[in-house]
């Protein structure tokens, strides 16, 4: 196989947690990159060499790439030799995939195509979405459909390359992790792989588009099922008045057992969303995956109810909730169970003062700002004023707090942080 490395201009649609790091990774290795985003504030920030969210090592990469003139940002899609689509793919109320942002991105790319470009979908999608992108391009640009193509294949190399990085380590894992590149045709996979070969040190595995799409969903469904097992154990242990972390510690001494750590639920843009795409694709066959999602989705409500029960011993309690992010040491609140828990507590106890400490953000998200009894506070002040302390996120910032601050407080630790 000809393992060539891409040269040319790349346009990346979506400058979020994946698009911007990808843009920086390409630009710092000499590729001309134009980042495109519908958010004017994001475009302005990147144009100044700034990063609109927290991610270690990203700020230096972006500022350096912008200073070198390799990375620019725009609200308009330019002509490019390769396009990477990194837009959101949320789910609808029925848990089916909402592909409107993907469709919009394709529609914005189509007028600029001349033939021979690479179009890569990075957004996590149900199997068949990348094939759909190819069909959309053929419909939008019939002049680019290859002659003698019975299926209306456009003269564009369409592929899927799902991201598989961990927030907080994106700039490291983007370079070192293996990548799966699935093409609508084998040639499409080869051309797309050349783009990632610019910066990737991991193995680039080529396959078909639908298999690549499914592989990403399987990765996150696998993790979701294992987390659900741990979370269900925590519920059972609670009923049996057992310390779930001690039970798991003992079980994990078996050489072939590795039970994960329970928590208040599952959040983020991947594990909390992707398994539903499998359920939507095969609802009658995905009973375990669906149940795991339901177990994890119900955990925040259970936590809120437990906190409400603990508050009954106080006349006018103050509750400190530590953390809003969906995981430790990042500022990403997407699908965060902590946000859901605080909202549920505020609704269950509307007369209760709820103090929220989240060192990674400067203001409450809109869904919490709507509650008059919820306010953002520093961790030390929130704990000092509280009767009940609820640990929701295991930020390093909270580890640095003296345990003596918890003296006399009712502590509900959802992370096993202060065992």
Q: Let me know the angle formed at the C-alpha of 210 by 281 and 147, rounded to the nearest 5 degrees.
A: 125
Residues belonging to the active site: 216, 270
Q: How far lies 8's CA from each of 62, 159, 264, 292, 399, in Å?
A: 19, 17, 46, 44, 47
125-134, 142-151, 168-177, 397-406: range with lowest mean pLDDT: 142-151
Q: Is the pLDDT at 27 greater than 70, yes or no?
A: yes
In whole angstroms, give the CA distance from residue 82 to residue 61: 21
Beta strands in 226-365 (DSSP E): 318-322, 353-357
User: Would the CATH topology of 9-202 be identical to that of 220-413?
Assistant: yes
Contact 398, 323 (CB under 8 A): yes
C-alpha–C-alpha distance, residues 16 and 35, integer Å: 10
Greatest pairwise CA separation for the chain in angstroms = 78
Whole-number pLDDT of residue 338: 98
How many angstroms separate the CA atoms of 220 and 96, rounded?
Answer: 16
Cβ 317 vs Cβ 276: under 8 Å: no
Query: Residue 44 to residues 33, 36, 75, 138, 374: CA-CA distances in angstroms?
Result: 16, 11, 10, 33, 32
The sheet carrying 204-208 orders its strands as 71-74, 32-36, 9-13, 82-85, 118-121, 157-160, 179-183, 204-208
What pLDDT is recorded for position 146? Answer: 86
Least confident of 194-203, 213-222, 266-275, 302-311: 266-275
Kindly report the number of other CB atoms within 10 A of residue 298's CB atom. 15
Give the model confidence (pLDDT) of 274-332 as tens digits: 999 999 999 999 999 999 999 999 999 999 999 999 999 999 999 999 999 999 999 99
Residue 94 pLDDT class (50, 70, 90 cuts)? confident
Taking 90 as the threshold, does the pLDDT of residue 152 lie above it? no
At residue 101, the 3 state secondary structure works out as: helix
Could you tell me the residue ranges of all domains in the chain?
Answer: 9-202, 220-413
Of residues 205, 259, 204, 268, the one with CA closest to residue 232? 259
- What is the pLDDT confidence band of residue 1, given thresholds at 50, 70 and 90? very low
> How do 82-85 and 410-413 pair as beta strands?
unpaired
Rounded CA separation 275/294 (Å)? 11
Round the average pLDDT of the chain to a whole number and report it.
Answer: 95
- Give SS3 for 366: helix
Q: Which CATH number fits domain 220-413: 3.40.449.10, 3.20.20.80, 1.10.760.10, 3.40.50.720?
A: 3.40.50.720
Residue of 165, 178, 170, 15 lying closest to 85 (CA atoms): 15
CB-CB contact of 114 with 81 (8 Å): no
Across the range 40-61, mean pLDDT stands at: 96
Q: Closest by alpha carbon to 383, among 396, 370, 394, 398?
A: 398
Q: Does residue 207 have a pLDDT over 70?
A: yes
Cβ atoms within 10 Å of 58's Cβ, excluding its own: 19
Check whether domain 9-202 has CATH 3.30.479.30, yes or no: no
The four Cα atoms 18, 138, 6, 60 give a dihedral, to 10 degrees, of: -20
- Whether the pTM exceeds 0.85: the reply is yes
Residue 148's pLDDT band, with cuts at 50, 70 and 90, is confident
Banded pLDDT at 150 (limits 50, 70, 90): low
């Amino acid at each position: 196989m000809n393992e060539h490395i891409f040269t040319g201009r790349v346009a990346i649609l979506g400058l979020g947690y994946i698009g911007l790091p990808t843009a920086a990774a390409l630009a710092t290795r000499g590729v001309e990159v134009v980042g495109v985003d519908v958010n004017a504030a994001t475009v302005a920030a990147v144009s100044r060499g700034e990063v609109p969210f927290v991610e270690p090592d990203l700020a230096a990469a972006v500022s350096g790439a912008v200073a070198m003139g390799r990375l620019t940002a725009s609200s308009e899609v330019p002509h490019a030799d390769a396009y990477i689509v990194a837009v959101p793919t949320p789910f609808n109320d029925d848990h089916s995939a909402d592909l409107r942002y993907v469709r919009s991105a394709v529609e914005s790319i189509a007028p600029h195509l001349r033939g021979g470009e690479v179009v890569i979908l990075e957004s996590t999608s149900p199997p068949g979405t990348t094939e759909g992108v190819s069909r959309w391009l053929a419909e939008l640009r019939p002049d680019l459909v290859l002659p003698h193509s019975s299926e209306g294949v456009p003269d564009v190399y369409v592929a899927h390359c799902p991201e598989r990085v961990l927030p907080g380590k994106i700039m490291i894992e983007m370079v070192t992790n293996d990548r799966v590149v699935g093409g609508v045709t084998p040639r499409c996979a080869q051309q797309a792989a050349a783009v990632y070969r610019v910066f990737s040190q991991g193995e680039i595995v080529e396959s078909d588009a639908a298999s690549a799409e499914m592989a990403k969903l399987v990765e996150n469904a696998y993790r979701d099922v294992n987390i659900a097992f741990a979370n269900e154990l925590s519920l059972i242990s609670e009923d049996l008045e057992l310390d779930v972390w001690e039970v798991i510690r003992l079980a994990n001494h078996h050489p072939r057992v590795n039970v994960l750590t329970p928590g208040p639920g599952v959040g983020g843009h991947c594990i909390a969303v992707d398994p539903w795409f499998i359920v939507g694709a095969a609802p009658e066959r995905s009973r375990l995956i669906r149940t795991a999602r339901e177990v994890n989705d119900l955990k925040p409500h259970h936590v809120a109810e437990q906190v409400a029960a603990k508050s009954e011993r106080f006349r006018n309690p103050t509750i400190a909730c530590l953390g809003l992010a969906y995981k430790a040491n990042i500022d990403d609140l997407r699908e965060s169970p902590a946000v859901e828990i605080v909202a549920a507590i505020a609704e269950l106890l509307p007369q209760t003062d709820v103090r929220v400490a989240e060192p990674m953000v400067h203001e409450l998200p809109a869904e919490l700002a709507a509650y008059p009894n919820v306010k953002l506070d520093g961790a030390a002040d929130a704990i000092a004023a509280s009767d009940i302390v609820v640990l929701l996120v295991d930020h390093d910032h909270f580890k640095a707090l003296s345990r003596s601050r918890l003296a006399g407080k009712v502590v509900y630790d959802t992370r096993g942080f202060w065992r």
